[in-house]
Amino acid sequence: MRNGNVAMELKVGKFKPENVSKMEFYLEGLDRQVKKPEENPSVGLLLCASKNDEVVEYAMSRTLSPMMVSQYQLQLPDKAVLSRKLQELASLPELVASSDE
């Protein structure tokens, strides 16, 4: 299980490259002001109304901050789809490895 802080930002509009540097600023603040010595570095999550995967890739190509960008939906997917996605997420190797520690 992860031991650290998460910064989340909800964008009403589309993803813009400058969102990455703003999130890096927030993460640095969390790590300097809030993070305890035994905690992992803070992680950022940008939720945007829309995104272009190529623009996201270019914007994040040189960042060292642990950050994810995702597009949100205004309606939840079908219950079966949501359940399947949660099962897929739970079986990711990095999650399985960290839960064994």
Structure confidence at residue 94 (pLDDT): 58
pLDDT band at 70 (very low <50, low <70, confident <90, very high): very high
Q: Give the predicted TM-score (pTM) of the model.
A: 0.69
Q: How confident is the model at residue 16 (pLDDT cuts 50, 70, 90)?
A: very high
Query: For residues 90, 93, 99 and 100, what is the CA-based torsion angle, rounded to 10 degrees?
Result: 130
The CA distance from 29 to 41, in Å, is: 11
Is the pLDDT assigned to residue 100 strictly greater than 80?
no
For residue 5, what pLDDT is reported? 93
Token pair 């890096």 in the structure block, residue: 24
pLDDT tens per residue across span 19-31: 999 999 999 999 9
